[in-house]
Amino acid sequence: MKPDRAGVVDIFTDGACKGNPGVGGWGALLEYNGHRRELFGGEKLTTNNRMELLAVIRSLEALKQRCNVRLHTDSQYVQKGISEWIHSWKKRNWRTASKKPVKNDDLWKELDLLTQRHDIEWLWVRGHSGHEGNEQADQLANRGVQCVLENPAGSSGTAEKCEVNGNFNE
């Protein structure tokens, strides 16, 4: 499926964590022109914010050509981070205003690169408020958690059997 430039890919993302840090999962729902793709994955020891970021990163990685994207997230950390904070972090060499290292800078740097590949409109939605796409992303994130619990990897890292990914627009 190849989106034309006028079309928009809607992406709904969410992260979940059982304990913070703890077992975490991420989920993403991609929709375009009546087609849907579900992505999810998880890690044995992580944080909710890392899972929120990974949901966005993995969904953008699934787009194999430049797309117009409407990205829906219930994470103010992701929304404000990408829309407001990242510009200052980059100017300060990935340091906060209080000169501390930015948490999750590895993922923020990866996301920063991915955002340059697409035209993205960032939309914040209230979590657990009945928004269909967000609710489905939440279910996928919880599937990621469940998968890690049922198929644990080694002492850390991603449970490979639990990462359901793929290319959206091939």
- In whole angstroms, give the CA distance from residue 170 to residue 70: 19
pLDDT confidence of residue 3: 45
Answer yes or no: pTM beyond 0.75.
yes
Is cis: bond before 152, omega within 30 of 0? no
Q: Is residue 132 part of a domain?
A: yes
Q: How many residues does the chain have?
A: 170
Q: Is residue 129 part of a domain?
A: yes
Q: Is residue 169 part of a domain?
A: no
pLDDT confidence of residue 159: 45
Residue with the bigger pLDDT between 168 and 52: it is: 52
133 catalytic per annotation = no
Q: What is the pLDDT of the chain when averaged over all its residues? A: 88
Say yes or no to pLDDT of 1 above 60.
no
pLDDT in tens, 6-17: 589 999 999 999
Q: Is residue 170 part of a domain?
A: no
User: Domain containing 93: what range?
Assistant: 8-157
Residue with the bigger pLDDT between 129 and 133: it is: 133
52 catalytic per annotation = yes
Q: Is residue 12 part of a domain?
A: yes
Q: Is residue 163 part of a domain?
A: no
CATH number of the domain enclosing 129: 3.30.420.10
Q: Which residue in the list 27, 42, 43, 138 is annotated as catalytic?
A: 138
